[in-house]
Amino acid sequence: MQERKAQKTKKAQKVSETQKWPVIQFSPREKAWKVDARTKEGGSRKFFKTKGEAEAFAGKCRIARGNDGTSAFGNTELAGYGWTVQRAIDFALTHLRQRAQSKLVVDAMTALLDFKRGRVGDTRLSDIENRLTRFSDTCDGKTVAQVTPEDITAFLSTIPHPATRNDYRKEIVMLWHFCKARKWVFESLDKTQVPRETEPEKSRTILTVEETIRLMEASTDDDICALNAMVLFGGLRREEVEKLDWSAVNFTTGHIEVSAEVSKVSRERFAPMLDNLRAWLSPLAQKSGPVVSRGLMHPLRATWKRALLSPWPQDAHRHSFISYRRRIIGDAQTALDAGTSETIIKRHYKRPVTADDAERYFSIKPSSDAAQKVIQMQAG
């Protein structure tokens, strides 16, 4: 008797260890496979001729139990989107957790500015701060995760000019990428959520040789002089000069090393130091230390006014370098020297200049005869 009882207990343990609900067993008495689908809430037992039929029924029971109670959550509609209730719950919890750990827009902006400080020039940093401050002022104390693409589009619609709207959009998209990397927001903004505006083609303005002379003679401040000379005659971008160290200016090899960290496009290049650029930089050069030691917006504006170039044509000095340089050495080499592409040059920099003007442009040196002539004409 005890032996029979022990065998039954052992058999029951084996069933519980190897099978999950509902239990499938062969019944010698019924000569059929039994599926025991009973639970505390009810259920029943069913018999099947084959084990395959029993397993198929047991599988349906498990699915039904897994879906039990989901109809209250609209599982039919979710299923139409290919979602399960559990997936919807996980998705909602992810968003709720993210909202809980998100940052206020103004705090996220401050963190971004702290991250960018030292990585971009002062002027660029000021642009980012001014635009994002204007945006954060409209967010009414929301966290980044609470701001919707519709909120951003509504803000951008208050800015009248398409190019300016795109400038603001660029900073906001950058903020969202920064926040996503820190898990303060669920996803980045893509082109469909906040699309770019179509901008009219910009006309590219370049300086004449006489205007370039006036600008350099008006650059009496050392930082301004170095910056203008490097952009006008070396093809560097203004924000690259603002991050440059004098140790990158090599008078022996005749090149300015623009490292990947300094370059706007994150690619190293060696800008040639032509004779006139060397003449402008030699009296200013130091062994090391920043080329630009402070913010230059106000001194630059004062310089433009002295040179009779106010309002200042946007990026005119770099556009001038590329337009005059390509007239001498062609598009391919100019693209390498300026850290851009031939495609961009062909699209934007085909300003008509003569070979004579190009030669005169790269002959402008401190106190040159041409410069003195312009100064005398102004004085007269």
Q: Do domains 85-200 and 209-379 have the same CATH topology?
A: no
Banded model confidence at residue 33, pLDDT cuts 50, 70, 90: very high
Distance CA 189, CA 180 (A): 10
> φ and ψ at 48, to 5 degrees?
-135, 150
Domain regions of the chain by residue span: 16-66, 85-200, 209-379
Q: How far apart are CA 214 and CA 55, in angstroms?
A: 92
Per DSSP, what are the bridge partners of residue 291? none
Range of 52-56, 258-262, 288-292, 359-363 with top mean pLDDT: 359-363
pLDDT score recorded for residue 201: 66
Structure-derived torsion over alpha carbons of residues 185, 190, 194, 197, reported in degrees to the nearest 10 = 150
**Model confidence over 78-132: pLDDT tens digits?**
777 777 777 777 777 776 676 667 889 999 999 999 999 988 878 789 999 999 9
pLDDT digits (tens, 9 = 90+) for 166-177: 999 999 999 999
Domain 209-379, second-level architecture: Orthogonal Bundle (1.10)
Going across the sheet that includes 32-36, the strands are 23-27, 32-36, 45-48
Residue of 272, 287, 376, 369 whose CA lies nearest to 328:
272
Per-residue pLDDT for 223 more than 70? yes
Lowest mean pLDDT among 49-53, 96-100, 274-278, 299-303: 96-100
pLDDT of residue 170: 94
Lowest mean pLDDT of 68-72, 213-217, 307-311, 346-350, name the range.
68-72
pLDDT at 377: 43
> Per-residue pLDDT for 15 more than 50?
no
User: What does the pLDDT read at residue 24?
Assistant: 92
Instruction: Identify the weakest region by mean pLDDT among 15-24, 46-55, 177-186.
Output: 15-24
User: Which pLDDT band holds residue 151 (cuts at 50, 70, 90)?
Assistant: very high
- Give me the pLDDT at residue 11, please: 56
What is the rounded distance in angstroms from the CA atom of residue 112 to the CA atom of residue 349? 34
Q: What is the pLDDT of residue 271?
A: 95
The secondary structure of residue 232, as a DSSP letter, is: H
pLDDT in tens, 80-90: 777 777 777 77
- For residue 339, the model assigns a pLDDT of 92
Fold (CATH) for 85-200: DNA polymerase; domain 1 (1.10.150)
Per-residue pLDDT band at 379 (split at 50, 70, 90): very low
How many Å apart are CA 68 and CA 41, to the nearest integer?
A: 12
Mean pLDDT across the chain, nearest whole number?
85
Q: Which residue has better confidence, 182 or 73?
A: 182
Report pLDDT digits (tens) over 348-370. 777 789 999 999 999 999 975 54
For residue 326, what are the contacts with CB-CB under 8 A and spacing of at least 6?
A: 334, 345, 349
Q: How does residue 5 score in pLDDT terms, banded at 50, 70 and 90? A: low
This prediction has a pTM of: 0.56
Question: Looking at residues 120-146, what average pLDDT do you find?
Answer: 90
